[in-house]
Amino acid sequence: MSWLRPKQKKPTKLDSVKSSKDSLADDYSGKVLSKNNVSPQLENNLKNLSLENSVSSSIPDTPIESPQQKPFSTITSSNSGSIDGDQTLIDSTQSYPNTAKKEESERRVGILTVKIICGKSVITPNRAQFIASHYSKYKNDVQQRPFAVISFDKNEVIAAPLGGDMINPVWEYRANFDVSRKSDVTVSLYQQIEQNIPANHPSNQNSNPDAKNKPGPGKCFITVFLGKTKFTPIFNDRLIDEWYQLDVSGYIHLQYSFNKKESEKLNIDQFDLLKVIGRGSFGKVFQVRKRDTGRIYAMKVLSKSKIIIRSEVAHTLAERNVLAKINHPFIVPLKFSFQTPEKLYLVLAFINGGELFHHLHREGKFDQHLSRFYAAELLCALECLHSYDVVYRDLKPENILLDYSGHVALCDFGLCKLNMTDDKKTNTFCGTPEYLAPELLLGHGYTRTVDWWTFGILLYEMLTGLPPFYCENPNEMYRRVLEEKLTFPPGLGTRAKALIKGLLIRDPQYRLGSNGATEIKQQQFFAEIDWDLLLGKKYDPPFKPLVNSAFDTSNFEDEFTTELAEDSYIPDSNLSETVQQQFSGFSYDGSGGAFSLAQSYMVNGVNDYTKN
C-alpha cells in the first residue's frame, strides 16, 4: 500500500498486485484476466490477481531541469584551523563505511537541540556549484544571504538568515529534533539568486525533447549550493559549541545539546494534525507536528478492524518492524509507533520533495547521469535490506521519494518479506505487474534475487520512459516477460545495456546480483562511483526539488490537503483480547533499540511490548 497518491496518475501505469493470500491492497477490483496466450500454470497464478489503489505523493505542475552529462561532483576538505578564539574547528569530511549501517546496541531517547549561529568566509555564488532545480518565475522573496537546511534523521528544517552578509551570514536559529536512534546532523547552505537564462542555456536542453513544461529564456531563480558540514552528535548533558568546516569553503558556528527523556507513552494528543496528505482503505495519512519539539512528520493512521478483516496483521507488523530496525540514509525512517484499542499509528519522517514517478512522468525519461545517481542510491538501500534478510518486492518509482536535497528515500514496506536468507524461497504472488519477475509468474518460488529483476526494470524505465516489456494488456505483458527478447531503443549506452541485460536474466540462478549486491556495484556502469562517498551523501544530487519548508504540502494532491484534518471517530471495535494480542509489539519510541524487550506498558488499555 503506497502511502501517498500521485496527483495525475500516468494512464499506462498499473498498480501493485497481490494474491488474496498475501495482500495489503487498498482496494480489490476483482478483475479477471483473459486466458489468451496464458499457460495453465500462469493462469492459475493470476486467478486471484487484484489491482491496488495506491496512495502516492506528487509534485506541482512546474518544469524540471535535466542536468548535463557529467561526472558526479564531490567535495574535498579544506585545511583546518581555529576560528575566532578557543572554539575547536571540526573537520566533518569523513565518510561512511561502505557496508550497511547497523543500529548500535545503546540507544538514547530524548530531544536534540541544534543552534546555527553564524558563518564565516562562505563561498561566493559565482564560485559555487549550481544545482539543477525547479524554476519559479513568480517567487518574489529573493534571499541575498544564504539560508541553511538543518537535517537529522531525515527531518529537515530551513533556517532563514537574520543578518550579516553573503560572506559572513548570521542565523541565530534553534531547532529541536526527536532522537530515537543514532543519526548524523547535516547543515547545508544554499542561496537563491536571480539569473538570466538564454534560450541555448543547458537548463533548456532536455534529455527528452518532448518533456512537459520546459523552461524558456528569461529571468528565473536558481538554487545555489554553498557547502555543507556533517557530524555525529554526542548524546550527553554537555553543551557543544564548535566551529565546523564546510566542505566547499568557509565555516559555520554551531551549538548543540541533548536532553535525555524517559520513555513516554505516546498518544495522538501529543501531535497537531495539520493536513491530510493521503488516504487508503485502512485509514489516512496526515502531516502532523509534534507539540514538544515542533517537528513535522507523516502519520499513518490505520484501522485495526479493517486490518483484521483483510488478515493483514502480520504484514502490518512486518512493515513496522523493518522501518524500526533499519537505519539507512536512503530509507524512510520510523520515528514512533503507538496504538489504541481501535487504531494503529505510524509516525514517519515527512519527505516532501515528490515521488520519483512524478519527476519521471514530467520529464519523460532521465539522462544516464541522473539515472545512475538514483540507481546507485537505491542499490545501497536494497543491499541494506538484504543484509537484514528482508526482500522488498515492490521497487517502482511510486515508492521512491526525493528529499529536500534530492536524495532518494525508499518508502512503503507493505510488501516486504522478512527472514529471507540467501537461498530461502517464498511463493507469494505479489508485486506490480510491470515489474514481476519470471520465476514469480511461473510459480516456481523466488529468492531475494527477485529484487534485482525489479531493479533492472526500474533502471530501464528511468533511461527510456517505460518498462521493457510493458503492454496495457497484462496477459500480453506477462507473456513478453517470459518469452520476448530484451530490446533497447537507439542511443542507450553500452554500459547501461550490459548492466540491464545482467539484471534481467530470466534464470534467477544466473541473474546479476544472485551472489550479492557487490557484483552489481562492480559493473562498469557504476565505475565512477565511490560507494563510501555515496553512502556518506557526499555527492551533490544532480537535481534538487523545490520545497519551501517542512510545512510545504504543494507536492500532495489537493483533494487530500483541502480535507479537514481530524482523527475520525471509530466506535468501540469490541476486538477480543486474543485479537488485540496480535498487535503486541507495535509501539516503538526508539528506547532500548528496535526489537528489544525494553518496556511493557498499557497504552489506552492495550497491553503493548517492544520486543525481539
Q: How many CB atoms lie within 10 A of CB 493?
A: 16
Are residues 178 and 587 in contact, defined by beta-carbon separation less than 8 angstroms?
A: no
Question: Residue 69 is placed in which grid cell?
Answer: 552529462
Q: Residue 71 is placed in which grid cell?
A: 561526472
- How many angstroms separate the CA atoms of 409 and 231, rounded? 20
Q: Verify whether residue 394 is a known catalytic residue.
A: yes
Parallel, antiparallel or unpaired: strands 185-197 and 17-18: unpaired
Rounded-to-integer distance, Cα 122 and Cα 249, Å = 6
Is the CB of residue 301 less than 8 Å from the CB of residue 340?
Answer: no
* Radius of gyration for the alpha carbons in the chain, expressed in angstroms and rounded: 24
CA distances from 134 to 190, 213, 372 (A): 14, 11, 20
C-alpha span between 409 and 352 (Å, rounded): 10
Q: What is the DSSP secondary-structure string of 195-249?
A: EEE-TTSGGG--SSTT-TT---SEEEEEEEEEEEEEE----SSSPEEEEEE-SSS
Nearest partner of 398 among 13, 29, 12, judged by Cα: 13
How would you class 11 by CB atoms within 10 Å of its CB: exposed for 0-12, middle for 13-18, buried for 19 or more? exposed
526-559 in b/e form (b: 16+ CB < 10 A) is beebebebbbbbbbbbbbbbbbeebebbebbbee
Give CA–CA dist 42/44, Å, rounded.
5
* Contact present, 460 and 468 (Cβ < 8 Å): yes
Residue at grid coordinates 499457460: 39
Q: Catalytic: which of 22, 178, 367, 394? A: 394
How far from the centroid of its chain's Cα atoms is residue 439's Cα? 28
Amino acid at the residue 234: I
SS3 of 50, please?
Answer: coil
230 labelled ligand-binding: no
Cell of 435: 515489474
Helices 450-464 & 494-503, crossing angle to 10 degrees? 150
Using CA atoms, how far apart are residues 154 and 330, in angstroms rounded to an integer? 9
Cell numbers that stand for 39 in this block = 499457460
> 3-state class of 362 per DSSP?
helix
The DSSP bridge pattern shows strands 147-152 and 185-197 to be antiparallel
Give the span between the Cα atoms of 461 and 54, in whole angstroms: 19
Residue ranges for the known binding site for ATP are 300
Q: Which residues are catalytic?
A: 394
